Amino acid sequence: MRPGEFAVIGLGRFGGSVAITLARLGHNVLGVDMDPHRVQNFAPHLTHAVQMDATEEEALRQMGMRNFDTVVVAIGANLDASVLITLLLKEMGVRRVVAKASSDLHGKILEKVGADRVVYPEKEMGQKVARFLTEANVLDLIELTPHVSLVETGVPAGMVGRNLRDLDLRARYGVTVLALRRGERVIISPPADQPLHAGDVLVLVGDNEKIAVLQERMAEKRA
């Protein structure tokens, strides 16, 4: 897979985390912020880091924003700035703009001016933490869409020794087993006759409601 070309505008907690993660994954990342100290701090970790006012259309054009695969507008507190920057980016032909919203109203405005995707980091993190607190033995959770998640969950004692064919999780719960993690070993698409061991971790994908039903059944098997 070729390295992607990303620009992140706003190097606060959210934008900085996105930029650093993309860089660590091997992508080319331009970081933009008005604060010279932030730019200086991130410069060693990103492909480029630039201090500039991203609400200036000419500054965006000079940075060649339309050439990036994705531009992340990570400014949440200044609603006017994030909306203006998103609008300018789409008008100049940026293929994909992902914008951070601080409220539902903010998100609706960003969608209206052309954001290809709107993210709500605080809201999404709160929902994720709530699910960790309420769903039995969830070890990790990634929301693929608002309705579909990928979860890692420990195997309860009541399932140890049984195989995936007997459990038939897909037919009974509509949940697909993508992988089985056993210590340091990961078994991709485990065979139906694979017996489950104590300490195994299942990697599942499915509709959130169906995963929740499965979690309830697994909790019963732990009781």
Interval 171-210: pLDDT, tens: 888 888 888 988 888 888 899 998 999 989 888 888 878 8
Q: List the strands of the sheet with 201-207, edge to edge.
A: 138-143, 148-154, 201-207, 176-182, 185-188
- Is it true that domain 5-119 has CATH number 3.30.420.40? no
Which residues does residue 201 pair with via DSSP β-bridges, in sequence order? 154, 181
Q: What is the pLDDT of residues 11-36, one digit of tens each?
A: 998 899 899 989 988 899 999 999 99
Residue carrying structure tokens 């007997």: 166
Angle between helices 104-112 and 79-91 (to 10 degrees): 20
CATH architecture of 124-222: 2-Layer Sandwich (3.30)
CA distances in angstroms from 64 to 68, 99, 101, 220, listed in the order given: 8, 18, 24, 56
Residue 48: which residues within 8 A CB-CB, separation 6 or more?
29, 30, 31
The partner residues of 64 in beta bridges, in order of sequence, read: none
Query: In DSSP terms, which residues pair with 150 in a beta bridge?
Result: 142, 205
Taking all residues of the chain, what is their mean pLDDT, rounded to a whole number? 85
For residues 196 and 182, give the distance between their C-alpha atoms in angstroms, rounded to a whole number: 9
Domains 5-119 and 124-222 share a fold: no
Kindly tell me the number of DSSP H helices and DSSP E strands found in the chain. Answer: 9, 11
pTM for the model = 0.62
Question: What residue ranges do the domains of the chain occupy?
Answer: 5-119, 124-222
